[in-house]
Structure 1
Amino acid sequence: MLNALEVFTTVIVGLMVGVEFCVAFVMSRIFNALPEDSDQLARAHGGRMLGALMPFWYVGSLVLSAIWVMAGWGRPGTGLVVVGAALLIVSVIMSLLLLVPINNQGKTWTPENRPADWKEQMNRWDRYHYARVAVIVAAFAFLVTALV
């Protein structure tokens, strides 16, 4: 049963990392290349769509990692899972303090109501997101290492 939990948790976290990596290094570049107001409209739609899904994915990944720690306490590799879970906690805190406030504003913007500095705010969100991606990639690496 513990093996199934370990694999399931690693897959769930890995998929989350893949989505966030794609947002950071693929989607943002695609959005930035869109003409006129399309960049802002795409970011607003993405913010609404992923903003509804990602909290569950982040918290779910953290909960699964915590269950893995408790179920595997005393087994080899548990320390690696603890570090991975701690990094997932850091990613949730980063999200709540840095990314969510910008996203909550950006997802309501239209070309008619967006602030003059909307691009600067989106660039700030991108920078914070790059840092968060680095944190969750590290968390995933610790979980994979614990698994093998």
Structure 2
Amino acid sequence: MFTALEVVTTVVVGVMVGVEFSVAFVMNRIFNALPEDSDQLGRSHGGRMLGAVMPFWYIGSLVLVAVWAVTGWGHDGAGLVVTAGSLLIVSVIMSILLLVPINDQGKTWTPENRPEDWKEQMNRWDRFHYVRVAVIIAAFAFLVAALA
């Protein structure tokens, strides 16, 4: 049962990392290359769609890691799991304080009501997101190392 917890947790966190990596380095670049208002419309739609799912995914990942850390205390790699959990806490705090406020505004924008500085706000969100992606990649790497 413990092995199943390790594998499920690693897969859930790994897929989350893949989605966030894809947003940062694939989807946003695709959106940026689209003509006229398509970039802003794509980001707004993505903000609504992923904004509804990601809170559960981040918190769910953190809960799985916490359960792994508690049930695996004393096993090899427990410190790595705790480190991964700490990094996931950092990513949740970053999300709440830095990314969600921008996303909450951006997901309501249309070409008619968006602010003049919408591109600067999206660029700021991108910079924060790059850091968050690095944090969750590190958390994932610690989980994988804990399995070894």
Tell me by how many angstroms 1:53 deviates.
Answer: 0.3
Corresponding position of 1:5 = 5
Distance 1:147 1:41 in 2: 41
In structure 2, the gaps of 5 or more residues are none
Alpha-carbon distance between aligned partners in 1 of 2:76 and 2:43, rounded to the nearest angstrom? 43
One-letter code aligned to 1:50: L
The residue that corresponds to 2:129 in the other structure is 129
Residue number in structure 2 paired with 1:93: 93
CA distance in 2 between partners of 1:25 and 1:38 (Å): 18
1:22 and 1:89 mapped to 2: Cα distance? Answer: 21
Task: Name stretches of at least 5 consecutive residues in structure 1 with no aligned partner.
Answer: none
Q: How many angstroms apart in 2 are the aligned matches of 1:137 and 1:76?
A: 21
- In 2, distance between residues paired with 1:84 and 1:61? 10
Partner of 2:14: 14
**In structure 2, how many angstroms separate the alpha carbons of the residues matched to 1:24 and 1:147?**
27
Alpha-carbon offset, residue 118 of structure 1: 0.1
**Alignment coverage as a number of residue pairs:** 148
Aligned-pair CA distance for 1:74: 0.7
Q: What is aligned with 1:102?
A: 102
State the alpha-carbon separation in 1 of the partners of residues 119 and 112 from structure 2. 14
The TM-score with structure 1 as length reference comes to 1.00
Q: Give distance in 2, aligned partners of 1:147 and 1:57.
A: 21
Matches of 2:54 and 2:96, distance apart in 1: 12
Equivalent pairs: percent with the same residue?
A: 79
Q: TM-score, normalised by structure 2?
A: 1.00
2:70 paired with 1:67: no
Deviations 1:95-139 (A, max 9, x none): 000000000000000000000000000000000000000000000
Q: Which runs of 4+ in 1 moved over 6 A?
A: none
- For 2:74, the aligned partner's letter is G
RMSD across aligned positions (CA) = 0.3
Listed as ranges, the matches of 1:6-85 within 5 Å are: 6-85=6-85
Task: Report deviation, 1:92.
Answer: 0.1
Distance 2:75 2:5 in 1: 14
Tell me, in whole angstroms, the C-alpha distance in 1 between the residues paired with 2:140 and 2:35.
36
